[in-house]
């Protein structure tokens, strides 16, 4: 797996907060590769690899599970974390929350099987699904149409340049029925380019405006690192994939970045990440209008 640097920049500020003796709440350990998901005004973060120093020495996998109330203001020294029951210690994983907010799911766990957490039962349990390919971390996205979770197959663990047929699939998983269906990805998008060209540590989010899952960025070992980021859509009602054309100033191919969609579903925001040559510390926005994605660097 490529690197262990914690680059989910959205969490960097709050996770590195120092807890003083006067503080009554508990904060999560700074950890790389956690599973995280946002549901309404709550941000959930689970597990990951905690490091005792900046060089990653004495690393341990943790089962920590916390929520942050985004409706409340906080400063850099006292975010109001809510501690939830710990789950199995894990690393290199991703997470999603069911549309009704009742279940937190994890995918692509390195150590333990995939698990989910029931907010009604306040407990963890393993669950099975049909996406069994080994690959770089796959990031799930909850579809706003029927609440299914979409997960796309990734590359194998050595980031081989050739993606096998088994990895050219995506899973639609229902948290309600506990069942999933696997479908083949369409081969091409624009001008012979694969519809989802980069599947190493891509990011995905749901847009109510487009009624589509939006995929942004990712790493492809066979593609020039100086090419622009990819923006792809999946429309669940038609089961169609689309690779968007881009315009304006674009960020270059990167991975392990952080992506969110604005509440109106019309703008995608990406921050941080790691290009193939260096870390990226620029915020980009994409206007998701007229089936085009125009990127401009955000003012900082």
Beta bridge partners of 126: 115
Domain residue extents for the chain: 1-118
Which of these ranges, 79-83, 218-222, 230-234, 295-299, has the smallest mean pLDDT?
295-299
pLDDT at 18: 37
Angle at 182 between CA 181 and CA 185, to 5 degrees: 140
Q: Is 106 strand, coil or helix?
A: strand
Give the pLDDT confidence of 147-175 residue by residue, as tens digits.
Answer: 999 888 766 544 444 555 556 778 888 87
Question: How much is the pTM?
Answer: 0.75
139/6: higher pLDDT = 139
* Tokens, residue 235: 């429309």
Confidence of residue 258 (pLDDT cuts 50, 70, 90): confident
CB 14 within 8 A of CB 281: no
CB 205 within 8 A of CB 217: no
CB 242 within 8 A of CB 188: no
pLDDT at 85: 95
Buried b (16+ CB within 10 A) or exposed e, 115-126: bbbebeeeebee
CB 105 within 8 A of CB 75: no
């Amino acid at each position: 797996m490529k690197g262990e640097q914690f680059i989910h920049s959205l969490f960097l500020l709050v996770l590195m907060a120092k807890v003083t003796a006067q503080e009554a709440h508990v904060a999560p350990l700074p950890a790389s590769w956690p599973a995280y998901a946002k549901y309404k005004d709550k941000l959930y973060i689970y597990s990951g690899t905690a490091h005792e120093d900046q060089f990653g020495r004495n690393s341990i996998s943790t089962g920590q599970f916390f929520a942050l109330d985004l409706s409340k203001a906080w400063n850099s020294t006292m975010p109001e974390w809510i501690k939830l029951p710990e789950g199995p210690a894990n690393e290199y994983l991703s997470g999603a929350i069911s549309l009704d907010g009742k279940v937190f799911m994890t995918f692509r766990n390195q150590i333990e099987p995939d698990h989910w957490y029931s907010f009604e039962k306040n407990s963890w349990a393993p669950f099975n699904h049909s996406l069994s390919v080994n690959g770089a971390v796959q990031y799930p996205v909850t579809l706003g149409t029927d609440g299914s979770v979409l997960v796309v197959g990734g590359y194998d663990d050595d980031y081989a340049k050739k993606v096998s047929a088994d990895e050219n699939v995506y899973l639609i998983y229902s948290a309600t029925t506990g069942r999933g269906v696997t479908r083949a990805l369409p081969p091409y998008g624009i001008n012979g380019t694969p519809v989802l060209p980069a599947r190493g540590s891509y990011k995905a989010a749901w847009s109510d405006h487009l009624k589509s899952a939006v995929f942004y960025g990712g790493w492809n070992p066979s593609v020039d690192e100086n090419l622009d980021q990819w923006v792809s859509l999946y429309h669940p009602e038609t089961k169609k994939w689309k690779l968007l054309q881009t315009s304006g100033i674009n960020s270059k191919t990167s991975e392990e970045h952080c992506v969110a969609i604005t509440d109106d579903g019309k703008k995608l925001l990406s921050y941080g990440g790691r290009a193939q040559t260096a870390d990226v510390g620029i915020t980009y926005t994409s206007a998701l209008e007229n089936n085009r994605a125009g990127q401009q660097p955000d003012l900082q």
